[in-house]
Structure 1
Amino acid sequence: MTDLFAAGPVEQYIGLMSGTSQDGIDAVLAEFKEGRFVRVLASHSGHYTADLRSELVDLSREATPVSLARYAQLDRAVADAFADTALALIERAGDRADSIRAIGSHGQTVFHDAVTIGNSLQLGDPSRIAVRTGLTVVADFRRADVALGGQGAPLLPVFHHAQFADAAEPRAVLNLGGIANLTLMPDADAGKVRGFDCGPANCLMDEWIERHLQQTCDRDGAWAASGEIDDDLLRACLAEPYFERDIPKSTGRGLFNLGWLEARDVQLAQRDPANVQRTLCELTASTVASALLRHAPRTRRLIACGGGTRNAFLMALLRALLPDVVVEDSAARGLDPQAVEASAFAWLACRRLRGESGNLPSVTGARRATSLGGIYAP
């Protein structure tokens, strides 16, 4: 790694990301040398107001119709939250932020259906972010891949491969956001990488605990650990056809939400809430483990990232279900689990401005590799 700090062009990019959990905006200031990710220089977490988050969750669940006027207002509100987060990060970074080339902004996904409709929508007007920060913004990363017949998701596997692949050890990366997605890396060959969404990670557990305990997440998985598995409910959930679909595949909160859970079990309201939470945690762990063993049984190391790594009970379940796999979080590989996604979008912005591809057709199913994202000047 020493050569990365030798004389040569060094650039800085900001990455902004809010995932399907919609629990906040992760921001990093990352350093790059000749297009290669070097390190995170600073990080910051921004937040939506409670009312805005609630409305975004409803929108992504397709629970409430929204007018075009309100959609436009939400686009602006998300952009302002992203811009505020970026400006707070720049202030925190101080004189380390003097040479920022651009911002990579993922935006807030509120709709994703690459199969039947062929589109993916993210809120957070990039032109507004550019004007408010005075920086070039790269955004709208998914739709170029979708236009080429791809899923437009997951986008992180190309970054996971660049950071975590090893020629001598079959590895996988597990992102535990609202949705769980896997990146499979049998060796260091990018052409062999596969990636897909397994199913729910935190989204169902977060919605369930918010309904019953008015908390936004199950800290350390403590509530889930207090309950017992409801076998009937678990079987009903595992009967979801998505779990058996071939890859590539992607999903989101539009499928996996409390409406989905209620449709699978008419007796849900009569079940013990703690037992439901325990069952939802088991659903996440079991579908991840099943997907890994089905598609990459030779995997020897699973590197976890995302907010779900803070759920100690979930991580323990994964280790129990995968006894022959080393399960660790990305901090063991030198990158904070909370910084991985935002770092990936800083990296994708860097690649876009260098004219380099940002997708992996072996992951998304696109017809070819392409640069991702539009460029928005301040």
Structure 2
Amino acid sequence: MKFHRIPTDPNMRKLWLIAIRRVNFTPSTSTVICEKHFTPDDYEVNVHGNRVLKKSAVPSVFDFPAHLKKKPTAQRRVLKRKREESSKETDQTLDICEAVEEPENDPISVDGNLLVAGPSSNSALNPEHLESSEPSNICNLQAGPSSNSAQNPEHLESSELSNMCNLRREPVFFGDFKFSDLSNLQRRKRFWKITHETVYKYRKMIKYNKCTIRRQKDKINSLNSLVDQLCEEKKISAAQSLVLKESLSETQKQLLFRQLKKGKTNKYSPELRCFALTLNFYSSSAYNYVRKIFGKKVLPHPRTLSKWYSVVDGTPGYSEEAIRAIKIKVEAEKEKGK
């Protein structure tokens, strides 16, 4: 069996790729096609007696699937009815004209015919006038419109095609349905199809919204569940989770959850700052995990936290922040009566 490489000539290469009919196919230098895809006429015998492929040969024998095979197109029927009718009318008109013009040399026979077929006695009294004027009128009346139709058949066909093109269906929607349309089988079937499409569309939309709501409910609903999840992921220890749970009141927890859920780019509240600083102090990986889950805009960047840390006076000895914290602690103990 012989194998043939795809030609390097751009024109022949294009013809081969069109004949192969493979989508997104880029042949390489080693791509070959076997001889089964060529007809015997595509080969010739060279001077050495070898059977070689012609330079102009293109592969044409392929066992394509049904959807890739070319469907034979039926020839469109040409409307010739009006042409034939117009030609018949012209032939009949010409026959009438010839039959009337032939008896000019025989005035006696013409007079006899006119006396028999004439509509009144006045026509019988003036046979010469009828002989000269009536044939021309008949020819003009009969041959006029028919000759125009015979001379302009293309105009008739173009007008018919334009009328057919104008009969396009207008788009029909679900709200266009009327109760009287039930009596028409075609309209009833059309609106039945539109109704099913509309119902399927809204069912799909409802299913999508339900999935969105379910995914939102599966998210963390409170700070306690967030801390428990961090413990399960082993991002923080049990003692650290207890500190995080007791660091904020229930109102502050709800406020924190609301801000975490929205994820807006507004100013960070003091409660959120306290939570972010405490969590990052205990475990930076836990902080990055929470920031990844809720979004980068919900919690500040670690560099922002470092800027917040730099505000605190960290010099050795008693700092102003430490004295203020002790004062707040003492006032809280006095309120409790201790």
> If the length of structure 2 is used for normalisation, what is the TM-score?
0.16
Query: Which is bigger in relative contact order (C-alpha 8 A, separation at least 6)?
Result: 1
> If the length of structure 1 is used for normalisation, what is the TM-score?
0.14
Structure with the greater alpha carbon radius of gyration: 2
Judging by fraction of residues, say which structure has more helix. 2
Judging by fraction of residues, say which structure has more strand. 1
